[in-house]
Structure 1
């Protein structure tokens, strides 16, 4: 049964350029990602796509409209949902058997034989998800892209009132939060504080988890045992981190 994504947990491995996370669905990733994706090659997960590549025998989401169309699908119902982005069909079709083998190995085993990034197709990401919003392993060519995704996700989640403007985060705040992903950052959306002047939520550093069942099913215990906890507040048109 699908569960409410009431927290956002990120376990980062910056040396290997990936993030394992819980709590962000595919449509949110597309919404919050600052990178314009050209096309997606779906390496695991069957759905009726707007494209099919005869060289790879995989479905594709072609162009911005194709990707947005895919984001409206029931991704959760696919189970596994793996994709790699590519710049154009011509370069994708020119991939060697060795390059194809590397992409397939990466999709199947969740780790690269060499690198998760392929110069020929100029991919920015490798997206390896299971049960949309429950588990995702995301390889990022530019790891700082995830810093923007994290900030955008927080702002997007607390922005429920269109008449109340939420301002962007200062780089200092984004950097502090991003740094904590290396230690296992949990953003708690289950109890957002709101009054006429401020919005706030709590975050925790709970350590490294790759098993999201273990992380989520013991959530309250993990919060109690957290390395530390802080309060993230939006007030007077700016964000700040408080000790309260």
Structure 2
């Protein structure tokens, strides 16, 4: 059977399980907001260009509360260059941040590195979101890494939807329904994610009944270098394949 070579967007994942941060490429802020298990209710904007944000005089940071977040979700953050934020529970607690804690947040946004724990008792934050080019190079701290796997599952699902519907040209043609990818299946790649792995939709192969997406290791260029270019992400070798059976609507993994 003739195989069709597909060109889609590769997802790169590098996970640090010690401090629970994940560097990704191919996952956007919109993907995050559409899929995270417990979406942030309020965000303290450390770097941004969002015009509708409110100003907090105590920290000199802007912020968006639950009423503004729908607009922030639709904002063109990929055009903001730097886009960094941390969620918080209550603005009254933001007003209790010390000068040292404000300085730590500034350092975090400026360097992408934490001085102490990035999870603040006063903020009760679940995330720290840091990017200089949203979707190309994102670094997110997760209090609970299960949240990340839901985000990743959504990003994979979205790419699969694009693959299965890209040839639909008439409105009456039926869209294929893609099943959600089980989180437990994604966790099987945790060892690869700790090394830095590509879920390579650029090299995905589609047959009549299934799509095979290779999982690659040994990134050929440093992620910081990729941040300065628009080159495709390339990897050294394939260690596994993520399989979607379009007939059975089932996901599976095979090694090699």
Superposition TM-score, scaled by structure 2 size: 0.82
Question: SS state of the match for residue 16, structure 1?
Answer: coil
User: Which contiguous aligned blocks of 4+ residues in structure 1 show a shift greater than 4 angstroms?
Assistant: 214-220
Shift in alpha-carbon separation, 1:39–1:150, aligned structure 2, 3 A: same
Which residue does the alignment assign to 2:33?
Answer: 30
- Give the CA RMSD over aligned residues: 2.6
1:118 to 117, 120, 129: 120
Which residue does the alignment assign to 1:16?
Answer: 19
Shift in alpha-carbon separation, 1:154–1:216, aligned structure 2, 3 A: farther
Shift of 1:68: 2.5
What CA distance in whole angstroms lies between the structure 2 residues aligned with 1:171 and 1:80? 30
Shift of 1:165: 1.8
Shift of 1:178: 3.2
Contact 1:5-1:133 within 8 A present in 2 as well? no
Superposition TM-score, scaled by structure 1 size: 0.86
Shift of 1:242: 2.8
Which residue does the alignment assign to 1:164?
Answer: 176
Which residue does the alignment assign to 2:241?
Answer: 231
| Corresponding residue pairs, total | 237
Shift of 1:16: 2.3
- Structure of greater relative contact order (alpha carbons < 8 Å, 6+ residues apart): 2
1:96 to 89, 95, 98: 98
Which residue does the alignment assign to 1:211?
Answer: 224
- Which moved further from structure 2: 209-218 or 52-61? 209-218
Shift in alpha-carbon separation, 1:69–1:212, aligned structure 2, 3 A: farther
Contact 2:93-2:123 within 8 A present in 1 as well? yes
What CA distance in whole angstroms lies between the structure 2 residues aligned with 1:119 and 1:134? 30
Contact 1:79-1:130 within 8 A present in 2 as well? yes
Contact 1:49-1:59 within 8 A present in 2 as well? no
Question: SS state of the match for residue 47, structure 1?
Answer: coil
Shift of 1:138: 1.1
Shift in alpha-carbon separation, 1:26–1:172, aligned structure 2, 3 A: closer
Which residue does the alignment assign to 1:73?
Answer: 75
What CA distance in whole angstroms lies between the structure 1 residues aligned with 2:230 and 2:181? 31
What CA distance in whole angstroms lies between the structure 2 residues aligned with 1:158 and 1:177? 18
Question: SS state of the match for residue 120, structure 1?
Answer: coil
Shift of 1:159: 1.6
Q: Which runs of 5+ in 1 are unaligned?
A: none
Shift of 1:190: 2.5
